[in-house]
Amino acid sequence: MPLIHKPATELHELIKTKQVSSRDVTEAFLAQIHHVEPSLNAFLTLTDDLALSMADAVDQKVSKGLPLGPLEGVPIAIKDNICTENIPTTCASTILKGFLPPYNATLIETLKQAGLPILGKTNMDEFAMGSSTETSAYQKTHNPWNVDCVPGGSSGGSAVAVAGFEAPLSIGSDTGGSIRQPASFCGNVGLKPTYGRVSRYGLIAFASSLDQIGSFANNVTDTAHLLNLLAGHDPKDSTSLALEKEDFTRLLGSPKKGLRVGLPNEFFKHLSPEVKALYTTLINTLSQDGIEFVWLDLPSIEYALATYYIIAPAEASSNLARYDGVRFGFRAAGTSSTAEMIEQSRSQGFGAEVKRRILIGTYVLSSGYYDAYYKKAQKVRTLIKKDFDRAFEQVDIIASPTTPTPAFKLGEKTNDPLEMYLSDIMTIPLNLAGLPGLSIPCGLHNNLPMGWQLMGKAFDEARLLQVAHQMESLIGFGGCA
Amino acid sequence: MTQWEVVIGLEIHAQVTTQSKLFCSCSTQFGSTPNTQVCPVCTGMPGALPVLNRTVLDKAITLGLATHCTINEHNEFARKNYFYPDLPKGYQISQLDKPICSLGYLDVEVDGSTRRIGLTRIHMEEDAGKLVHQGSDNIKGATHSLVDLNRSSVPLVEIVSEPDIRSAKEAKAYMESMAQIVRWLGVCDGNLEEGSLRCDANISLRPKGTETLGTKTEVKNLNSFKSVERAILLEIERQTDILDEGGTIIQETRHYNEATNSTKSLRSKEEAHDYRYFPDPDLVPIAIDRAWVSRIEQTLPELPTARHKRYQTELGLSDYDAGKMTVDRETGDFFEATLSLGSSAKEIANWLNGDISAWLKEHSSTLAICKLTPAHLAEMLKELINGTISGKIAKQLVDDMLETGTHPSTLIKEKGLAQVNDTGAINQMIDIVLSENPKAVEDLKAGKVQTMGFIVGQVMRKSQGKANPDQVNKRLKELFSLS
């Protein structure tokens, strides 16, 4: 098996035991990147030199006989909305064209400390607003399973980097499904941790109360090891929680006896008969292994999409106010007053989807509308949280399809924003509730992967990963050849 | 013609004295080179997040307690959204419906009577940066403008009064009183020149005897106590003229120009911003429990007005002296410390108000930074009361103590300043002076008491101020049988 097809944990073992060097591994992925990028377009910026110098530093440690940390030496790709000092960070937006952050996100500092060579920055929907990576101002990313299809979004580039064997691991962010949905479309494991589990410092904000950094990997074990690195309190992020360090791999391989998994009726309502059949078969297979499935109701879920499209744009309209052309990024030329400069910089710098959401957000926060929209949405959000709390009194895990359909064609939904928004209908509720969730591949439909979404209690990632690991081995999904 | 009642509410912005900014660890030092006290957080870099400086909470609670406010258990920061080049995030982090303090009051002395001014709220917020216009003093005519973000995110408290103020004079007194309190508590340095304390006034008129509020205008840029009074007077006059002629007041914001003593319209209600406030999702709500408030309550110093009264009733100081001794915390604490070492209140007040204050003024110094200590002053006063030194020598000593910080006993010993109380030596000096001034002796013999002062002065001069003037007086009276 070529190096690039090996899981991250195995690559790390090979490096640690001096069977290959981190440079060998990194060069293999860089070679794959240069080979497939012309057809996939997953990366916006490549950082070959940085990756190789980081790899060499790991190899030096190995040659000196120094111990390596977890996953040390295994390269990784980063979504382009995470600040990397002096490396372009654009959020796939014209308004941040050429922006060189003066600092590293906490996550980047962590990865540098941990010695994971950084391969580059991946494409995404502009400011993470989208479900297909098509709103990127720079390029279209293609799904490796079928290059005519979208990779999903907004972390499409990161999902494709792993699915296309350009990176064994990658980092994404998930505000309404931006990790789980592309993981589902690309057939890999995408984890969104509990809100507050991973520091957001340096993650360019879309909707602060929903944004969470997470990961893509080829399997659940790699995902658990990576979470060990990502998780932790950060004094620079007031919303990150100070919890005891824990080992998220500790429950892997020892399936929980008497596992009860909840299936929300609401998530199975709108599926096509073919897709529904796929999940029925899956549930039957898993039941035979002693997993008990329980049908349950999350009655407030039907308002989740509407709630999300008030809260997320409201926060975004404020978070994106700093892009005014004054201090960094794009500034429109030829203007004659500051007001005009700000107006023109934003008009020319933001794409259509971003503008649409800024407008919605500005509207729902306006005086006279605030109570009717934003305040009410916050109340519904509480109801959704309560629905989940009640469900978790009966079950250990809640499961559902990750998306109602497999990856759709490029251009298919770009002219119909509402249709596009619906592709996140299964993933959005979890962000509103702040809970952890992941998507694992569970089968093919029309030769495209479908995802199985598992949702856990707050800060119960160890259990979530345990169950995902158990199901993963029962499903035996082959991956993209 | 209608008699108008003036209704004024003040919004005071006070910069909270802290080492670091409200949401990052950058320094708050005033007057540094532009953009040297900045970081990703206070420059609004993408991805940067605010972390609350808890010192500001403590100080805001302190001010709230001192002004009889309710300290709200549930505290939340909100974003106030608007675009301006000096506002790096495109929003200011402030507080809206869950401020830290609400419903307090401040008693203000105006013309010998006490006026109670209600406080609607006190909330915390961050300051904006500063625009430096190039090629002109203001934005008009400037070729371009530079942005200095050193001040961005410096902590402020905004103190909003009820519309309880009824005259420009009251407004000034309220502002002065608030300035005294924030300084006294160490919440704010109260430096108006550096903009640590700024004020906006909401002014309206209504027919005397009516309750409904008239249309108000907001006057901004009141950067001195004098400005507060003058700008409000101007605005009252402007509104009175309009109303007297049957016109209506337009709700608007007006800008006061100190140099020309005039106001001009900045924007009307129609042009007012919709700030689209909402709770800041980057900051978690803060619960301030009873224990927290109690902890601060225990550190709350006696307030200047209470101390002022106590000095009058318990120490018998005059209203003037009591006021002077409570003018600021430094003076108050210096006075207290000296008092605790056994000196008389009146004596301390006299010296602090007199020679010491004159010296400090002359040397642009303050009690906090000069070399005089309460212990030294107390010692000097003891020697004065004991009669070891004369009043004249005492004056000389105080200057030396202020200058060098030397202990008064050391100065007395080293310079031989001790008073001469030896009767023989004094009598000898008197004899010499009398023999040198036969005319004065004649006058004294004739019972001209006024001449005695002259002779005493001559004796003091001869003794270089060291002779005990009481003894000189006594001896002269004996010699010439004067009473």
Residues B422 and B472: their CA atoms lie apart, in Å, by: 11
Contact A203, A179 (CB under 8 A): no
pLDDT at B346: 81
| Least confidently predicted of A24-33, A113-122, B105-114, B472-481 | B472-481
* Domain limit, last residue, from B331, B365, B387: B387
Chain B closest CA to A243's CA: distance in Å?
16
How large a percentage of chain A has pLDDT more than 70? 99
Residues B400 and A97: their CA atoms lie apart, in Å, by: 67
Residue B414: inside a domain:
no
| Interchain pair B49, A318: CB under 8 A | no
Query: CB-CB: which of B45, B46, B282 is closest to A238?
Result: B282
In the predicted model, what is the mean pLDDT of chain A?
Answer: 95
Residue B285 touches chain A, beta carbons under 8 Å: no
pLDDT at B1: 60
| Same domain as B287, residue B310 | no
Identify the band that residue A409 occupies on the pLDDT scale cut at 50, 70 and 90: very high
Whether A178 is a known active-site residue: answer yes
Residue B404: inside a domain:
no
pLDDT at B460: 78
Chain A closest CA to B153's CA: distance in Å?
15
Which chain B residues have a beta carbon less than 8 Å from that of A338? 85, 145
| Same domain as B335, residue B454 | no
Which chain A residues have a beta carbon less than 8 Å from that of B52? 238
Contact A357, A364 (CB under 8 A): no
Residue B89 touches chain A, beta carbons under 8 Å: yes
How would you label B96-118 residue by residue, b for 16+ Cβ within 10 Å and e otherwise? bebbbbbebebebebeeeebebb
Search chain B and give the residue with CA nearest A366. B276
Judge whether residue B399 has pLDDT over 90.
no
| Least confidently predicted of A418-427, B123-132, B266-275, B435-444 | B266-275
Residue B274 touches chain A, beta carbons under 8 Å: yes
Judge whether residue A479 has pLDDT over 80.
no
| Same domain as B66, residue B26 | yes
Identify the band that residue A481 occupies on the pLDDT scale cut at 50, 70 and 90: very low
Which chain B residues have a beta carbon less than 8 Å from that of A236? 49, 51
Q: Where are the beta strands (DSSP E) in A218-289?
A: 260-264
Over residues A124-141, mean pLDDT? 97
pLDDT at A223: 98
Judge whether residue A480 has pLDDT over 70.
no
Mention every residue, 6+ apart, whose C-beta is less than 8 A from residue B332. Answer: B184, B304, B307, B325, B326
pLDDT digits (tens, 9 = 90+) for A271-292: 889 999 999 999 999 998 889 9
| Interchain pair A322, B46: CB under 8 A | yes
pLDDT at B348: 81
Domains identified in chain B, total number:
3
Asked whether the bond before A178 is cis by omega within 30 degrees of 0, the reply is: no
* Domain limit, last residue, from B367, B387, B407: B387
Query: CB-CB: which of B47, B48, B91 is closest to A321?
Result: B91
How large a percentage of chain B has pLDDT more than 90? 44
Which residue do the tokens 């729902």 mark? A364
Residue B240 touches chain A, beta carbons under 8 Å: no
| Interchain pair A204, B278: CB under 8 A | no
Judge whether residue B421 has pLDDT over 80.
no
More confident residue, B57 or B144: B57
Identify the band that residue B320 occupies on the pLDDT scale cut at 50, 70 and 90: confident
Chain A closest CA to B44's CA: distance in Å?
7
Size of interface A-B (CB pairs under 8 A): 106
| Least confidently predicted of B193-202, B330-339, B385-394 | B385-394
Number of H helices, E strands in chain A: 15, 11
Which chain B residues have a beta carbon less than 8 Å from that of A206? none
Which chain B residues have a beta carbon less than 8 Å from that of A235? 51
Chain A closest CA to B140's CA: distance in Å?
11
Q: Which of A6, A79, A121, A413 is catalytic?
A: A79
Over residues B18-37, mean pLDDT? 93
pLDDT digits (tens, 9 = 90+) for B142-175: 788 899 999 999 999 999 999 999 999 999 999 9
Contact B129, B84 (CB under 8 A): no
Query: CB-CB: which of A204, A324, A365 is closest to B47?
Result: A204
Residues in chain B: 483
Over residues A378-397, mean pLDDT? 97
Chain A closest CA to B49's CA: distance in Å?
6
Residue B332: inside a domain:
yes
| Same domain as B179, residue B139 | yes
| Same domain as B438, residue B354 | no
Residue B259: inside a domain:
yes
Identify the band that residue B223 occupies on the pLDDT scale cut at 50, 70 and 90: confident
| Interchain pair B85, A99: CB under 8 A | no
- Tell me, what DSSP letter sits at residue A268? G
Residue B298: inside a domain:
no
Search chain B and give the residue with CA nearest A83. B47
Residue B402: inside a domain:
no
Residue B48 touches chain A, beta carbons under 8 Å: yes
H-run or E-run covering A249: none
Over residues A342-367, mean pLDDT? 96
pLDDT at B329: 85
Over residues A472-477, mean pLDDT? 88
Over residues A6-35, mean pLDDT? 97
| Same domain as B281, residue B165 | yes
Judge whether residue B236 has pLDDT over 70.
yes
pLDDT at A389: 97
Residues B6 and A216: their CA atoms lie apart, in Å, by: 67
| Interchain pair A204, B46: CB under 8 A | yes
Query: CB-CB: which of B81, B147, B274 is closest to A326?
Result: B147
pLDDT at B483: 64
Contact B45, B62 (CB under 8 A): no
More confident residue, A279 or B343: A279
Judge whether residue A311 has pLDDT over 90.
yes
Contact B47, A101 (CB under 8 A): yes
How many C-beta neighbours within 10 Å does residue A300 have?
21
pLDDT digits (tens, 9 = 90+) for A37-47: 999 999 999 99
Which chain A residues have a beta carbon less than 8 Å from that of B43? 327
More confident residue, B446 or A189: A189
- Tell me, what DSSP letter sits at residue B356? I
Residue B394: inside a domain:
no
Domains of chain A: 3-256+406-420+433-475 (3.90.1300.10)
Contact A83, A171 (CB under 8 A): no
Judge whether residue A397 has pLDDT over 90.
yes
Identify the band that residue B464 occupies on the pLDDT scale cut at 50, 70 and 90: confident
Q: A interface mutation test: which of B20, B92, B282 has the most A CBs within 10 A?
A: B282
Residue B81 touches chain A, beta carbons under 8 Å: yes
Chain B closest CA to A118's CA: distance in Å?
19
Q: B interface mutation test: which of A326, A378, A379, A381 has the most B CBs within 10 A?
A: A326
Residues A339 and B432: their CA atoms lie apart, in Å, by: 89
pLDDT digits (tens, 9 = 90+) for B66-101: 999 999 999 999 999 999 999 999 999 999 988 999
pLDDT digits (tens, 9 = 90+) for B5-18: 999 999 999 999 99
| Same domain as B98, residue B182 | yes
| Interchain pair A82, B47: CB under 8 A | yes
Residue B91 touches chain A, beta carbons under 8 Å: yes
Residues A127 and A353: their CA atoms lie apart, in Å, by: 10
| Same domain as B287, residue B198 | yes
Over residues A174-191, mean pLDDT? 97
Residues A332 and A262: their CA atoms lie apart, in Å, by: 52
| Same domain as B441, residue B341 | no
Contact B315, B349 (CB under 8 A): no
| Same domain as B216, residue B364 | no
| Same domain as B378, residue B244 | no
Q: Please determine, for the modelled complex, whether the ipTM score is greater than 0.90.
A: yes
pLDDT at B420: 65
Which chain A residues have a beta carbon less than 8 Å from that of B38? none
Query: CB-CB: which of B45, B52, B274 is closest to A366?
Result: B274
Domain extent for B62: 4-291
Judge whether residue B342 has pLDDT over 90.
no
* Domain limit, last residue, from B246, B269, B291: B291
pLDDT at A27: 98
In the predicted model, what is the mean pLDDT of chain B?
Answer: 87
How large a percentage of chain A has pLDDT more than 90? 91
CATH number for position B457:
1.10.10.410
Residue B392: inside a domain:
no
Query: CB-CB: which of B45, B49, B85 is closest to A237?
Result: B49
Identify the band that residue B331 occupies on the pLDDT scale cut at 50, 70 and 90: confident
Contact A136, A92 (CB under 8 A): yes
SS3 at position B339:
helix
pLDDT at B91: 97
| Same domain as B330, residue B287 | no
Chain B closest CA to A391's CA: distance in Å?
26
Over residues B224-242, mean pLDDT? 92
Over residues A288-302, mean pLDDT? 93
Closest CA to A76 of A2, A192, A144, A166: A166
